[in-house]
Amino acid sequence: MEGFAMAGKRVLLKVSPQGQVTLRRGVREALGNPRHLECWMEQGVLMLRPALSATLDEAEAMFGKQGITRDVLAEALRIVRRRVGQMGFYSYVPT
């Protein structure tokens, strides 16, 4: 699936009877192989983008090395949730 990251490139994805969608390898690679994605609808179009972090534990593992505490990260998540809520569309911000 080379060249997927090019603007306008489209692929067909299959939806299972359970409603699950499998992203092709090239799609995942173009997104940076994220573990979690944000998802929302925009004018009838399903939009996906990599989520910043999956859990507070993962964020702590990444930023703790720089001296950023769990309390600071939790407050940052509260701020992000508040801002996302003000934007008027659904956005997955992990808890």
Residue-wise pLDDT for 45-79, tens only, equals: 988 888 875 577 877 887 888 899 999 988 988 88
∠ CA 34-70-55, rounded to 5°: 25
Per-domain boundaries in the chain: 51-86
DSSP state of 9: -
Q: What is the pLDDT of residue 95?
A: 47
Residue-wise pLDDT for 73-83, tens only, equals: 889 888 877 88
- Quick check: pTM over 0.85? no
Which SS3 state, helix, strand or coil, does residue 40 take?
strand
Q: Tokens for 54?
A: 């999956």
Residue 15: is it exposed, middle or buried by C-beta count within 10 angstroms (0-12/13-18/19+)? exposed
Alpha carbons 45 and 25: distance in angstroms, whole number: 21
